[in-house]
Structure 1
Amino acid sequence: MRARLPRLSRAAFLLAGGHAQAEDLLQAALIKAALHWAKVSAAGDPEAYIRKILYHEHVRTWRRRRFLEHSTAVVPDRAMVGDESDRAVQRLVLEQALAKLTPRQRAVVVLRYFEDLSEAATAQVMGTSVGTVKSQTSHALGRLRTLAPELAELVREMEVSS
């Protein structure tokens, strides 16, 4: 699991929207996996099993809290300097835009485009139908287009890869 920890940590960060929340989310998932390790290891692919626990834990936490976040931060203007700064700004804008999506929409985007899962695999992880994954993906990409027009090229690439 140590070798797979960076991937799981990245997924947790993208779901939770912050380092501290991601650490808490991943820790909770790993604790649940450790408590049921015989079942996890018997499943054949411990990483997939732990990823599923991670997403279920994420959904459980937002269902439990049920509060609305109101972001007041203004999206920064794009810098006109080197390539690295453009990518850094794009990452920040994407992070802010993902934080404004509903938890389900964020989970669909993370699973489909950052974890590169198929629609069927995403549906299985989320415990929904493929049709729900398709509609949530469509709504999420539309919302990303509205929330962060500067990510239009990235969103277009996501739609093409669907």
Structure 2
Amino acid sequence: MRKAEEQGFREFAVTHAASLRRTAFLFCGDWHTAEDLMQQSLMKLYQAWHRVQQQDHAGAYARKILLRTWLDEKRRPWRRAEQRDGELPEQADSNADPDLVSGRLWARELIQKALIKVPPRQRAVLVLRYFEDLSVTDVAAVMGCTEGTVKSQTARGLVALRAAVDALENNGSTMESEVAS
């Protein structure tokens, strides 16, 4: 790879790594796995950079690589056997209002836990549509499916997400009432 191409890739990686990592976390629900997915995706993108950099859609291509890398990881048998029940501590923003921060953290945790319970393809559509703010057309291109499939997966994913949120909220309220008794 020429120095100019390598410099272009480095600039892309620096500017997009955090976004790719966040998207990977929303896919898998684990920061360590998200870091691995992001690194694997960037390695695959590096290998294809001479073809990609000529296009204006390097970000979309990187998200597509990330999605496929994550789906490949989900298919591996050793991933299915792992138990991921440890929780990472959240870092609080000391400059924010504590009441507002706790409410936002609660909502974010609730959505993240519920999102993990949504089936993988539906979760991928929800993350790309609502967290990455991609259009239906862009999501269809990233996932390699039709726009109709994206729309149906979005509808089913939202139903599954609502059900998961309701289940988590009901589980939390019964636990709180048991503790109070």
CA contact (8 A) 2:129 2:135 kept: yes
CA contact (8 A) 1:94 1:151 kept: no
Structure 2 residue 126 is the aligned partner of structure 1 residue 109: yes
Deviations along 1:55-91, one digit per CA (max 9) or x if unpaired, are 1111222133384888889xxxxxxx81210100111
Structure 1 distance, partners of 2:157, 2:146, is: 16
Which residues in structure 2 correspond to 1:50-69 (within 5 Å)?
50-65=62-77, 67=80
Name the residue aligned to 2:108.
Answer: 91
Aligned-residue offset at 1:11: 0.8
Structure 2 residue 34 is the aligned partner of structure 1 residue 22: yes
Structure 2 distance, partners of 1:85, 1:142, is: 26
Structure 2 distance, partners of 1:142, 1:45, is: 31
Counterpart of 1:139 in structure 2: which amino acid? R
Give structure 1 stretches of 5+ with no counterpart.
74-80, 153-162
Aligned-residue offset at 1:43: 2.1
Which residues in structure 2 correspond to 1:133-148 (within 5 Å)?
133-148=150-165
How many residue pairs are counted as aligned between the two chains?
A: 145
Structure 1 distance, partners of 2:30, 2:84, is: 14
Structure 2 distance, partners of 1:137, 1:21, is: 24
Counterpart of 2:128 in structure 1: which amino acid? L
Aligned-residue offset at 1:4: 2.0
